[in-house]
Amino acid sequence: MKIRLLIRTKLILSFLAVVLIIGVASISIGIKIINDNVIGQAYDDVQMNLNTIKYFFNERIHFKMRFLEYLSYLETLRSAIVNNNRRTISEKLREVKREVEFDILTVMDARGKVIVRSGDFNSFGDDRSLDKYVKHVLDTKKPCYGTDIISRDELLKEGRELADRAVILVLETPRARKTGKKIEERGLVLKAAAPVIHNGRLIGVIYGAKLINNSFDLVDKFRNLVFKDEKIDGSDLGTATIFLDDIRVSTNVRRQDGMRAVGTRVSEEVYREVYEKGKTWLDKAFVVNKWYLSAYGPLLDIDNRAIGILYVGILEEKYSRILRNTTLYYLIIIVVTSIMAILVSVYIVNSVTRPAEKLIAASREIIHGNYQKILVDTHDEMGYLGSVFNNMVDAIHERDRQLKERTEKQIVKSAKLASLGRMASGIAHEINNPLTGILTYSSLLLEDLQGTDYGEDLQIIVNETLRCRKIVKGILDFARETKLEKQPANINDVIMDSLSMLEKLAHFQNVQILTDLDPEMPPISLDVTQMRSVINNLAINGADAMPRGGVLSITTRYKKEPGTVTIEVSDTGVGISEENIGKVFDPFFTTKEIGKGTGLGLAVTFGIVNRHNGQLDIRSKLGEGTTFIITLPEA
Ligand SMILES: Nc1ncnc2c1ncn2[C@@H]1O[C@H](COP(=O)(O)OP(=O)(O)OP(=O)(O)O)[C@@H](O)[C@H]1O
Ligand SMILES: [Mg+2]
């Protein structure tokens, strides 16, 4: 039972170990791959969004420039400029200003002097030729566009309302660079300028700008376009910001109180990298109260000088959710596979141990003498083991049955012999005394009447009486239960003694005697006299079975393991029929003619061998010969 548990536990533990090692390895590798992919994908996303907002921004200004170009082709405007008709120009400017969402729209003459401002009819005549965009048009006669910073003075010329709209209170922001600046009055603008050409001659410049400070339609449109108003836990998924310098002037990032985070500033670290070095910044950033995957890029003016920063951020939560969900599914798959692997392993282990259990149970039954077979229901090694086991059960059962049968026969025989012996010896005793009387008186009579008519008859009486006495002596020998007088002796010597006497008998006239005696034979405890009569009986029987001559061989062998001595007496005589072989040990069984054999020789022999704790076996084949085998224990 213990072994079975051990095997099962061992097998299941090994399976578990394999599953766990594979599981842990694939979980860690898998999570790393998912992590790298999702995070990599996330940064690709923000980087792409930053490029999109740049493009979006650019397209907006480009569109405004095209509009100015279109305006410059208008005949009404051209002739108004040629004729210095300020009213007409002003009306035209105000008409289009709303459509194109310009905050500033100005017409200048060919030297850059302001002719008309859409914001203030009375503010004109000042020189704008040093403005980078105006200068570009004057120099190249080509339109241009971009972003720029406009001073408060310049904004005031367009009107107080516009200048005030640009004002931003700078808020104290942790980790921002120290400037001490409290207020930002400059305006970040989208700017475009276009030449007015008349008859191939430059007659003026149209110039427009849109203020970005505190204006959110650009960032919101961008966000709606790219992130489709998506929200996670109430927060916008994506946010965009435009910085003037390092100050947020337009953004949809919200502060804690829900207000747009205008006036807060970018961290010094980002400012140095992006604004000063002109690089793109990609990283996780804690913006106001949430983690964002962020991208910052420089905002350049027409001379490629940094004037601000563009920012796009995506809530990290989006990716950590993907990460969490993917990891969760992955874990579920691994756990389910592990459980399946364990179930399969338990099934396999059971399919091995269940037949083993059956074998153990059946073996126990066999110990108790219950020859129970097991049901073989598989065709694998366990099934084969099972059928071999069943064959073994059959074999043991058969051997056991034979053993029992033999033992029973032996017991019956012994009992039969014992009772027969007792009866025979009783009779023999009673007959012995009268026989002695008959023999004595008939012998005396024979002495007296020798040579007379009665002499021959008396001789017959004496002979027959002698024969009776021989029978009686045989019966007494057979039935005698006297103690053996044992002494250590070499069986080879006993055999040689017997043979030296036997050779002289008439029985052995035509018989060749061969001996093969084990030289290693140790002395064993024997009753020498009785053992000699055993050899005599067997040898005379052999000789009698070969009336026309033959070979009588006597062989001895000593077996150290298990400590036995065997004596084989073999002849090449007539053999014993199948029918008689079971009877030869019976007392008085003889095939010899009356007067020749008493049928007691083998019965006596059997008794002596038995009393030496030995065994007497017989092997015979009709017409070929007979072998008697005596097996004696060494000790
Ligand atoms: N070596 C043998 N070959 C053939 N038959 C044998 C042999 N030994 C014994 N037998 C048979 O067994 C019978 C019984 O043998 P057992 O020695 O008991 O008696 P017996 O030889 O007939 O008479 P006794 O030995 O008393 O003179 C024999 O009559 C014979 O038929
Ligand atoms: Mg005999």
pLDDT digits 0-9 by tens, 110-120? 999 999 999 99
Ligand index nearest the alpha carbon of residue 550 = 1
CB 515 within 8 A of CB 499: yes
Mean pLDDT of the residues in the chain: 90
Could you tell me if 611 and 549 are in contact, meaning their C-beta atoms sit under 8 angstroms apart? no
Residue 195 Cα to ligand 2 middle (Å): 155
- Predicted pLDDT of residue 375: 85
Q: Best-predicted range by mean pLDDT among 201-210, 250-259, 282-291, 379-388? A: 201-210
Of 256-265, 402-411, 564-573, give the range with the top mean pLDDT.
564-573
Q: Is the pLDDT of residue 150 over 60?
A: yes
Nearest to residue 56, comparing CAs of 255, 299, 268, 230? 299
Q: Which residue has the higher pLDDT, 332 or 474?
A: 332
pLDDT confidence band for 494 (50 / 70 / 90): very high
Ligand nearest to the CA of 620: 1
pLDDT of residue 483: 67
What is the pLDDT averaged over residues 181-194? 96
The yes-or-no verdict on residue 187 having pLDDT over 90 is yes
Residue to mutate, 511, 584, 585, ligand 1, most ligand atoms under 8 Å from C-beta = 584
For ligand 1, what atom is nearest to the CA of residue 625?
3
DSSP string computed for 42-73: HHHHHHHHHHHHHHHHHHHHHHHHHHHHHHHT
Protein fold of 483-633 = Heat Shock Protein 90 (3.30.565)
Q: Give yes or no for residue 529 having a pLDDT over 60.
A: yes
Distance CA 456, CA 232 (A): 146
Sign for the pseudo-dihedral over CA of 49, 51, 57, 62: negative
Q: Give the pLDDT mean for 575-583.
A: 92
pLDDT over threshold 60, residue 1: no
Enumerate residues lining ligand 1, CB below 6 A: 537, 541-542, 545, 571, 573-576, 584, 589-592, 597-603, 626
State the pLDDT at residue 482: 55
Band of residue 303 on the pLDDT scale cut at 50, 70, 90 = very high
Helix axes 86-100, 2-72, angle to 10 degrees: 170
Compute, in angstroms, the gap from residue 537 CA to the centroid of ligand 1: 9
Instruction: Using the mean position of ligand 1's atoms as its centre, give its distance from the Cα of residue 590 in Å.
Output: 6
pLDDT > 60? residue 75: yes
Q: Return the pLDDT at 3.
A: 54
Statement: residue 2 has pLDDT above 60: no
Domains of the chain by residue range: 60-325, 391-481, 483-633
Q: State percent of the chain over pLDDT 70.
A: 98
Q: Which of 199-213, 336-350, 545-559, 609-623 has the lowest mean pLDDT?
A: 336-350
- Measured from the Cα of 573, ligand 1's closest atom is 3
Whether the CB-CB separation of 440 and 390 falls below 8 Å is answered with no
Please tell me the predicted confidence (pLDDT) of residue 84.
92
Q: Which CATH superfamily is domain 60-325 in?
A: PAS domain (3.30.450.20)
> With contact defined as beta carbons under 8 Å apart, do 251 and 171 qualify?
no
Average pLDDT for 365-385: 85
Residue located nearest, by CA, to atom 29 of ligand 1 = 590
Q: Mean pLDDT across the stretch 463-481?
A: 80
Q: Report pLDDT for 236.
A: 84
Residue 481 has pLDDT above 70, yes or no: no
CB 49 within 8 A of CB 312: yes
- In this predicted structure, which of 237-241, 398-402, 432-436 has the lowest mean pLDDT? 432-436
- Who contacts 357 (Cβ-Cβ below 8 Å, separation ≥6)? 4
Residue 348: which pLDDT band, with cuts at 50, 70 and 90? confident
The residues, any chain, with a CB within 8 Å of residue 186's CB and separated by 6 or more, are 149, 150, 151, 152, 166, 244
Q: How confident is the model at residue 4 (pLDDT cuts 50, 70, 90)?
A: low
User: Going by CA atoms, what residue is nearest to atom 13 of ligand 1?
Assistant: 590
Q: What pLDDT score does 373 carry? A: 86
Cα torsion angle, 420, 426, 431, 432, sign: positive
Which residue from 32, 51, 50 is spatially nearest to 40, judged by alpha carbons? Answer: 32
More confident residue, 475 or 437: 437
**How much is the average pLDDT of 566-573?**
96
Averaged pLDDT, 82-90: 94
Q: How many angstroms separate the CA atoms of 511 and 105, rounded? A: 155
Question: Could you tell me the distance, in angstroms and rounded to a whole number, from the CA of residue 265 to the centre of ligand 1?
Answer: 132
In Å, how far from its chain's centre is CA 532? 74
The topology under which CATH files domain 391-481 is: Helix Hairpins (1.10.287)
Q: Identify the pLDDT of residue 246.
A: 94
Prior bond to 587 cis, omega within 30?
Answer: no
Given a cut of 80, whether residue 474 has pLDDT beyond it is no
pLDDT-wise least confident of 198-212, 496-510, 548-562: 496-510
Q: Rg of the chain's alpha carbons, rounded to an integer? A: 66
